[in-house]
Amino acid sequence: MRANSPSRVHELSPEEQSVYRQLDPAKIPQHVAIIMDGNGRWAGKRMLKRFLGHQQGAESVQFVVETASRIDLPWLTLYAFSLENNLRRPKSEVSFLMKLLRNYLTGNVQRMNDNNVRMAYIGRTHELPTEVQDTMQWASEATAKNTGTTLTLALNYGSRSEIVDSTRALLTSLIEEAHRRGCSLEDLLQVDGLESRVDEHHLSGGLYTAHMPDPDLVIRTSGEQRISNFLLWQIAYSEIFITDRLWPDFRGLHLLEAIANYQRRERRFGGLGDAFTDEDLSNLEPAEEVAAEIKDHLTAGPVLTRP
């Protein structure tokens, strides 16, 4: 629990409290990102129109957000509307989703404030309709003083486009600096060194999420086992939890269950992990011996020709 932040765990439902008691509060993820999927299938299973699935999905958002705020989850990012959605969905559906977004924001800002939730957005939001942008800005400003969970909606978002935008921003910055210093970009990079000017730090600093920690946990609903162009850079070492539950049926209880699953895992970040002991390390073969053993296997054999 963050300093000076009163506990709200008592506001969880009895079912949620039962799961929460199994958690280590000190190991609550800093950042959970969710790929919300299954609105259309949820509606189809019930012989309903797709827009009713989207409406029910919006209800699920608020249930999950309130549970996140009660356990003091610092960052929650929801994949709400992808760049591909904007380009490939029927215009009527896109129009409805934009209207639903505006209604969600205007109808839930008070609940956000009651739950100490701050609104934020990532994506090419400048391409959204002006009236949608205005509502987004209003909701952001209305919740800006809240100090609890930051709810970030990924809107008109695509991770590849985000990386492209970061690269463009970096190049633009370098060109402008070269002009200020009265030299060419090539001269600037030769003097300072390309490695010192273009690295992971500089690229990540230009991402939409530069002010946020990378997600510890990514949740995907509806059983699909793909990332769908979501936070590709940021989730390099994230744990992934996939559930068959469709998003309109997803609740705060299921968020807690995913966190419980996350806490049972060992995160190694490319290392050996806590379970790997000094004794195990001493028993590892020296690198030179391993290299000698596989040398013959790495040497190309005779080229086979097609008869």
**Which residues are part of the catalytic machinery?**
37, 85
Instruction: Name all contacts of 135-142 with Cβ < 8 Å and 24+ positions apart.
Output: 135/101, 135/102, 135/105, 135/106, 136/101, 136/105, 138/105, 138/109, 139/105, 139/106, 139/109, 139/112, 142/109, 142/112, 142/113
Tokens of 129: 């309709």
CA angle 240, 244, 245 (to 5 degrees): 105
Q: At 74, which amino acid appears?
A: P
**Alpha carbon distance 50, 94 (integer Å):** 12
The two tokens of residue 216 are 């510890």
Distances (CA, A) of 241 to 112, 218, 233, 288: 26, 6, 18, 39
Angstrom distance (rounded) from CA 255 to CA 5:
21
Structure tokens at 197: 């000017």
